[in-house]
Amino acid sequence: MIPEEVLQFAKERGARMVDFKFVDLPGSWQHFSVPVRELKEDIFVEGVPFDGSSIRGFQTINESDMLIIPDPDTAIMDPFTTIPTLSLICNIAHPGPLGIKRPYSRDPRYIASKAEEYLRSSGIADTSYFGPEAEFYIFDNVRYNSTDNIQYVEIDSDEAHWNSSRNSTPNLGHRMRVKEGYFPVAPNDTLQDIRSEMVLLLEEIGVPVETHHHEVGAAGQAEIDMRFNTLVKIADSLMLYKYVTKNVARKHGKTVTFMPKPVFGDNGSGMHTHQSLWKDEKPLFYDCQGYASISQLARYYIGGLLTHAPALLAIAAPTTNSYKRLVPGFEAPINLVFSKGNRSAAVRIPLTENPAAKRVEFRPPDPAANPYLLFSAMLMAGLDGIRREIEPSDHGYGPVDRDLYHLSEVEMREIRSVPGSLDEVMNALEDDHAFLLEGDVFTTDVLEHYIEFKRAQADEMRLRPVPIEFTLYYDI
């Protein structure tokens, strides 16, 4: 749409409010609203002022004046407001003298747009496609607290095995056994209609969906797979995905979490991300003669992903909780190798002979990641691999076509794995970030603030005793 069409769209649908949504540095949507009479064409150029000092990762209070610049292509009617509300995703800018505005370096959406421009300027390709598979849990209840004298969390899912002996309400059995949520039908799967409602609503607001299903986690784990799209558009879609799933669940008296590891002893939630490069509408990752039918260009791209994986994880798996999912010995993609059709490898090449569908899948990311930063960082790592011709086989990254979960101890010593904590990946990002600075896509300022923010989270976790410590140590 163009601004004039957005105004007409709002009028035709009876919008009475306009909601401006934008993303903070950690990756959560923020918003504020104005009456629809304030929506004029010049807003899409001049922007709307707001206080940037109250947004995580943005400005200090002495330099807090910021602008949101709505993107007219993102106009939809918000599906959850009682008052008809037009929703617009926005970019962030600095106000300047004489009305001159400059994009805000810490705006994740701006970083993503720069990554797309850098790809085009490289001459390697003109389009990058991403297809994230974001997993999440749908719980019936969650209680948590963390104060000086209280540390606890309690979650509940009616589907979970721990409710098989519940007495407080009628108990009809058919609970999910641990790690057996993939793919029992009803009555074990109680969430079919809720997932379908999420899918239909996503499609209604312009986010095409390919499939949905119950995931392995027995306590209500789910997955809805969106159709792939270009970098900024798929990041926008992932923000809508989180918004829709959380609010549909709330409507049904349930709650959605994208925490990577909310349930002990059952599967964590990942966000395996498929990616490919195209030029002049032709796929660049296919070669019928290559290993798993991938091109040498794709191998170099994989080499970049695996070489920079420790640093990438600072953005791809950005919470302390992420490293309760990425642990050895469980169904987690910690092994820094590539392989065809092998879900135990960090990089999987899906088995397809369709050139247009040939892609690589990077499996360590989780849905706590800021999608704009994540997709941009993976693209930059892959392009660095292409630019430097990093052949993964020359660096011990495979291919490995065996089940990595059943290798011997000696064999496993030959395979590198991802770092094991948020502190370690932040160290890796500090040591290895030059590839992100190419083309001024990321800036030193962004990375410094990001690392500072994440280290503060790691400190919060490190300082607090947790309940299991009382079980282990209280009586020593």
* Residue found under tokens 């705006």: 107
CA angle (335 as vertex; 213, 418 as ends), nearest 5: 100
Residues contacting residue 476 through CB under 8 Å, at least 6 positions apart? none
Residue 73: active-site member: no
408 falls in which pLDDT band (50, 70, 90)? confident
One of 3.30.465.10, 2.130.10.10, 3.40.50.2300, 3.30.590.10 is the CATH number of 117-473, namely 3.30.590.10
Residue 60 pLDDT exceeds 90? no
pLDDT of residue 202: 98
Other C-beta atoms closer than 10 Å to the C-beta of 225 total 17
Residue 250: active-site member: no
At what angle are helices 309-316 and 371-387 packed, to 10 degrees? 170
Distance CA 245, CA 376 (A): 24
Catalytic residue chosen out of the listed positions 24, 78, 107, 361: 361
- Alpha carbon of 41 to those of 71, 99, 292: distances in Å? 12, 16, 51
Question: In one letter, which amino acid is 293?
Answer: S
385 falls in which pLDDT band (50, 70, 90)? very high
Residue 411: active-site member: no
Residue 449: active-site member: no
Residue 223: active-site member: yes
- What architecture (CATH level 2) is domain 3-104? Roll (3.10)
The dihedral over CA atoms of 255, 258, 262, 263, expressed in degrees to the nearest 10, equals: 80
Residue 299: active-site member: no
pLDDT of residue 342: 76
Bridge-based pairing state of the strands 255-257 and 229-230: unpaired
CB 95 within 8 A of CB 49: yes
CA angle (463 as vertex; 266, 425 as ends), nearest 5: 65
Catalytic residue chosen out of the listed positions 5, 38, 41, 51: 51
In this predicted model, which residue has the larger pLDDT, 171 or 275?
275
Give 464-468 contacts, CB < 8 A, sequence gap 24+: 464/146, 464/151, 465/151, 466/151, 467/151, 467/152
Catalytic residue chosen out of the listed positions 213, 343, 416, 455: 343
- Residue 146: its H or E element: strand 141-146
In this predicted model, which residue has the larger pLDDT, 271 or 405?
271
CB neighbour burial string for 167-200, b if at least 16 within 10 angstroms, e if fewer: eeeeeeeebbebebbeeeeeebbbbeebbebbbe
Quick: pLDDT tens for 128-164.
999 999 999 999 999 999 999 999 999 999 998 888 8
Single pTM value for the model:
0.95
At what angle are helices 309-316 and 444-463 packed, to 10 degrees? 70
Residue 455: active-site member: no
Residue 412 pLDDT exceeds 80? no
CA atoms within 13 A on the CB side of 46: 10
CB 32 within 8 A of CB 61: no
- Alpha carbon of 296 to those of 303, 342, 359, 377: distances in Å? 10, 20, 13, 21
Domain ranges of the chain: 3-104, 117-473
CA dihedral sign of residues 32, 117, 40, 42 = positive
pLDDT of residue 434: 98
pLDDT of residue 331: 67
Over the chain, what is the mean pLDDT? 93
Quick: pLDDT tens for 32-58.
999 999 999 999 999 999 888 888 888
Judged by DSSP in three states, 351 sits in coil
Judged by DSSP in three states, 9 sits in helix
Find the mean pLDDT for residues 335-362. 92
271 falls in which pLDDT band (50, 70, 90)? very high
CA 441 to chain centre: 19
Catalytic residue chosen out of the listed positions 215, 236, 266, 366: 215
Catalytic residue chosen out of the listed positions 195, 272, 274, 308: 272
Quick: pLDDT tens for 432-464.
999 999 999 999 999 999 999 999 999 999 999
Distance CA 416, CA 54 (A): 41
Distance CA 385, CA 378 (A): 11
414 falls in which pLDDT band (50, 70, 90)? confident
CA angle (33 as vertex; 29, 36 as ends), nearest 5: 135
Share of the chain above pLDDT 90, in %: 80
Question: In one letter, which amino acid is 458?
Answer: A
Residue 215: active-site member: yes
Distance CA 89, CA 120 (A): 24
Residue 404 pLDDT exceeds 70? yes
Residue 182 pLDDT exceeds 90? no
- Alpha carbon of 453 to those of 94, 105, 364, 387, 433: distances in Å? 22, 16, 21, 31, 17
Residue 51: active-site member: yes
Catalytic residue chosen out of the listed positions 19, 189, 223, 366: 223
CB 371 within 8 A of CB 27: yes
Catalytic residue chosen out of the listed positions 24, 363, 384, 433: 363
In eight-state DSSP terms, residue 317 is S
